[in-house]
Amino acid sequence: MNTLVPEWAESHFPLYTFDGIQSMYGTSNLPSVQIHENQTVLIAIAAGKGSLEVNNQHYELMEGGIVLLPANTYATLTTNPRQPLHAYKLSIRFLEQTRVMPAGTMMQKSGIASDSKLLLFPYEPAIVSDVKELYLHRLPDRETRHVQNQLLFHQILLQLLEQQEARYIASGQPSMERSITYLENHFSEKITREHLAAIAGVSRSHYSTLFKQLTGFTLNEYLSRLRVHRAKELLLNSSGTLREIALKVGYKDEFYLSRRFKQETGTSPSGYNRKPIRHVAVLLTPYASHLLLLGLEPAVTISESSEYLNLSGQEPPKPMKFINTNSSAAQMRSALLEANIELIIAARQHLDQLRLSPGELRAVAPIVEIPWMEMGWKDHLRLIGQAIQRSERAEQWLADFEKEEAEARAIVQQSTGGKEIITILVIKPDGLLVYGSRNVGCVIYQSLGLRAPALIEAEMKKLGDQFHSFPIDISELAEYAGDRLLVVVFPDAKGSTAHTEAVFRSPHWKRLPAVQRKNVHWLERDEWVPYNPVSIRLQLGRAVALFDSK
């Protein structure tokens, strides 16, 4: 296998540079200025009010606003006489890469410069602040400052691209939903009812009525919940002093945060970590098993089905509620609120897969993000134990398990399998995978210390718990040939395994030493693939039975 061959065609994006930056003040002598450039222009409103006229369309501007003008746009910027405008104009140029590109290369357009429409972001103070800093240091006297300017410029571009993407994602939502999404993503900033009403396209008074109807909360209640719940997340992670946390969530100081925190929770921030957490929701079932293992039944599980792995082999606890992952964010929020959820446990990867942002659920409860692919199941258990104040129980369970691991390893290492190279092959409808450190491979290679094919060993040493699997072509089977072959078959959507016939009829399969010696074990997917403490412990027992000749 040539690991240097990319899995997709290379993509190349344009290079960005800034040609110039100007500070513009509106005065009674010069109330307006004409703007026309052959490149993209960013206008950042630092103070005051004014308007922008483009193609007979008028756009109201105020402090904190951002306008992105396409190249060759004729525009007139006019100040408000009572509140004179101060703005910065940043000229952005993008350069196509001219060097010779490999065959199959995809040249990508500039996300900022290719939009033919004016883009108005009513309130982006962070971008305005960065533009101001860029202006203040526009004539660097040392190279370090020059590089800082380059970083700052690209930070501005990154924020613009993120705002464009967010607007694109939200473009299909109703206007009120758009305003709520904006609130959820910008709650730590200064936000006014007028601004949100403008995003929703309704009057200020009507906005308050619609907001309460949609969310069940007043705007101030919703904003307070977002900020206090984010503060809880930071407290659980020990992320800074109380003052630093207050500023991060949008409060002016720790005293104001403490007052709001106590109004919301009935306790002070300093007492939050000592308060037992009883009503927890999890996103997807692996983390539900972690909770059960720690003696806490999840009040709500957001999952694609109601299948559930529990400790006793009986039905799930009666009080537990399942929410299907196909439900809307509003439906999820409603069900979580009804269950009085105090904490939500989720992985960013799973949130992204379901197209959910943390902000959509944060109004219900704080979210503890437990990375899924970035760490193994033992660290998952430790982090969840910390989040629900059950670390001692997690460590005791892990200590007991490690004793079982050592005993199982000693038994298997003395067996015939202990001296063999073990290959784990997964056959799916859309191709073949060779497994590494997770799922089946976790017990086989990590718990029992059995040998993997050389290419798999190399990846496990490099990536550890993050190495899940390799996709391979059937012609590459020989490169991963082991003395013993463990095979897991995934059926197709209709439950059929007919796709395996092409593999088993292939000469590449028939030539494998393990196949010729009939040293192939067929593993049940539901027994060997789940990746959580309960399943891993069960898999350890099955693996000993599989390899122990006695």
Provide the domain limits for residue 315: 280-389
CATH value at residue 506: 3.40.50.1980
Q: Are residues 421 and 505 in the same domain?
A: yes
Indicate whether 108 pLDDT > 80: no
Q: Are residues 300 and 419 in the same domain?
A: no
Percent over 70 (pLDDT), the chain = 89
In terms of DSSP bridges, do strands 106-107 and 11-12 run parallel, antiparallel, or are they unpaired? Answer: parallel
Indicate whether 379 pLDDT > 50: yes
Among 276-290, 342-356, 394-408, top mean pLDDT goes to 394-408
Per-residue confidence (pLDDT) for residue 506, from 0 to 100: 94
Q: Calculate mean pLDDT across residues 438-445.
A: 93
Indicate whether 310 pLDDT > 50: no
Asked if residues 384 and 345 have their Cβ atoms less than 8 Å apart, the reply is yes
Task: Name the domain boundary from 135, 153, 169.
Answer: 169
Report if residue 510 sits inside a domain. Answer: yes
Percent over 90 (pLDDT), the chain = 49
User: What's the chain's Rg over C-alpha atoms?
Assistant: 29
Indicate whether 6 pLDDT > 90: no
303 band by pLDDT with thresholds 50, 70 and 90: confident
Q: Are residues 33 and 162 in the same domain?
A: yes
Per-residue confidence (pLDDT) for residue 35, from 0 to 100: 92
Q: Tens digits of per-residue pLDDT, 519-533? A: 999 999 989 998 999
Q: Tens digits of per-residue pLDDT, 219-271? A: 999 999 999 999 999 998 877 889 999 999 999 889 999 999 988 888 888 88
Per-residue confidence (pLDDT) for residue 38, from 0 to 100: 87
What backbone phi and psi angles, to 5 degrees, belong to 120? -120, 125
Indicate whether 447 pLDDT > 90: yes
Per-residue confidence (pLDDT) for residue 268, from 0 to 100: 87
Model pTM? 0.67
Q: Calculate mean pLDDT across residues 346-352.
A: 88
Q: Tens digits of per-residue pLDDT, 65-76? A: 999 998 889 999
Helix (H) or strand (E) holding 133: helix 125-136
Indicate whether 424 pLDDT > 90: yes
Q: Are residues 365 and 486 in the same domain?
A: no
Helix (H) or strand (E) holding 454: helix 454-463
Summary mean pLDDT of the chain: 85
CATH value at residue 37: 2.60.120.280
State the total domains in the chain.
3
Per-residue confidence (pLDDT) for residue 214, from 0 to 100: 87
Q: Are residues 36 and 148 in the same domain?
A: yes
Number of Cβ atoms within 10 Å of the Cβ of 461: 10
In terms of DSSP bridges, do strands 75-79 and 49-54 run parallel, antiparallel, or are they unpaired? Answer: antiparallel
Report if residue 373 sits inside a domain. Answer: yes
Q: Are residues 338 and 451 in the same domain?
A: no
What backbone phi and psi angles, to 5 degrees, belong to 322? -105, 135
Who contacts 293 (Cβ-Cβ below 8 Å, separation ≥6)? 311, 381, 397, 533, 534
Quote the CA–CA distance of 153 and 16 in Å, as a whole number. 9
Per-residue confidence (pLDDT) for residue 412, from 0 to 100: 92
Per-residue confidence (pLDDT) for residue 237, from 0 to 100: 83
Per-residue confidence (pLDDT) for residue 521, from 0 to 100: 94
Per-residue confidence (pLDDT) for residue 147, from 0 to 100: 94
Report if residue 255 sits inside a domain. Answer: no
Q: Are residues 379 and 285 in the same domain?
A: yes
Report if residue 242 sits inside a domain. Answer: no
Q: Are residues 17 and 86 in the same domain?
A: yes
